[in-house]
Amino acid sequence: MNDGSARRAVFERAMEEARRPSGLMLGTLVAILVTAAVFGVGRLLRLVETPELLADGGIVALTPAFLVVWLLLWLWLRFKEQRAFAGIGFRERRHAGSRAVRGAGIALAQMGVYLAVGVATGSLVFAADAAGGVIRWSSLGWVAVALAAFAVQSGAEEIVARGYLVQLWWRRTGLLGAIVVSAVFFTAEHAVTGDLAPLPTLDMTLYSVLAVLWVLTERSLWGVIGYHAVWNWAQGSLFGVSVSGTDVPNSLFVVNTTPGSSDLLTGGDYGAEGSLVDIAVLLALIAGAVVAYRRSRSSSSNSA
């Protein structure tokens, strides 16, 4: 195995570096408990923050809760499994920037398709402010802060669902098991905050398939975190569209659904992730991800 194929194996087999690796059930339970910490800390924030600050702050106000996820997983890897946190998907530092930027670009393009279809069909409209403009310049600073907050939030979800769980299940079940467990975990995580209708459930599942193929192809989390963070940020803070059914305050633009528009095109109250438009884009991205994944495996086999 040459250097290239060895690097490909680093991500999937990082659990083998652990001096005290976790079993499937224990590791999965840890993933659940680490993620549940968000809700525990979130409840604490609701006690110590004023309701107005939490409502106005949104994802920024909840950033400490997601930082706890990063901390807890680091503690588990460091002291229980006794392996490097970087092995979870942060070793390819040389390509970190380019992969994160590419992921961000894909997310923006995907959002662009959703908006273009919505505006073209008359289902979506950019709302004007009191002065008749569509850009709310007073929100610009807040939008920049929100990008960092979404990076923390999205990163917290990815290190658990696409980092730790994929590594845990890959070594025992291969690609299929890693995809199924990651998809079920990610979808259930979002269902806790509210009922998921069929289209949002399908959307979450398709994204999970895409994300697992993505990290296994790039052997890192940089790209998928860049995509996930910018996708959430573009929906909520950039265009004012609901993010998984949650409204984000202080957006740069406000995009509204028009009366009588079809939820199949707009996603309704759930936002873009509940629309057929987004599902179609995800299917196209998965097709590309399958090709990239097969090429990476073929290259690894030929150079071994």
Q: What is the pLDDT of residue 35?
A: 93
Average pLDDT rounded to a whole number, residues 164-182 = 93
114, 200, 265, 266 from 123: Cα distances, Å: 10, 18, 7, 7
Residue with tokens 């209708």: 197
Q: What is the pLDDT of residue 1?
A: 41
Is the pLDDT at 195 greater than 80? The verdict is no
What is the Cα–Cα distance from 42 to 35, expressed in whole angstroms?
11
Predicted confidence band of residue 58 (pLDDT cuts 50, 70, 90): low
Q: Which residues contact 135 (CB under 8 A, 6 or more apart)?
A: 252, 253
5, 70, 71, 296 from 185: Cα distances, Å: 29, 17, 20, 26
Predicted confidence band of residue 214 (pLDDT cuts 50, 70, 90): very high
What SS3 class is residue 246? Answer: strand
Residue 152, Cβ neighbours under 10 Å: how many? 20
Q: Where are the domains of the chain?
A: 3-303
Beta-strand ranges (E) seen in the chain are 124-126, 255-257
Is the pLDDT at 259 greater than 70? The verdict is yes
Q: What angle do CA 156, 162, 165 make, to 5 degrees?
A: 100
What is the Cα–Cα distance from 155 to 35, expressed in whole angstroms?
12
Predicted confidence band of residue 4 (pLDDT cuts 50, 70, 90): very low
112 compared with 197, residue with greater pLDDT: 112
Predicted confidence band of residue 149 (pLDDT cuts 50, 70, 90): very high
Beta-strand ranges (E) seen in 57-168 are 124-126
Is the pLDDT at 8 greater than 70? The verdict is no
Q: What is the pLDDT of residues 34-54, one digit of tens each?
A: 999 887 776 676 645 444 444
Give me 15's structure tokens: 């659990």
Helix count (H) and strand count (E) of the chain? 11, 2
Give me 227's structure tokens: 């995509």
The secondary structure of 7-61 as a DSSP string is HHHHHHTGGGG-SSPPPHHHHHHHHHHHHHHHHHHHHHHHHHS-HHHHHHHTTTT
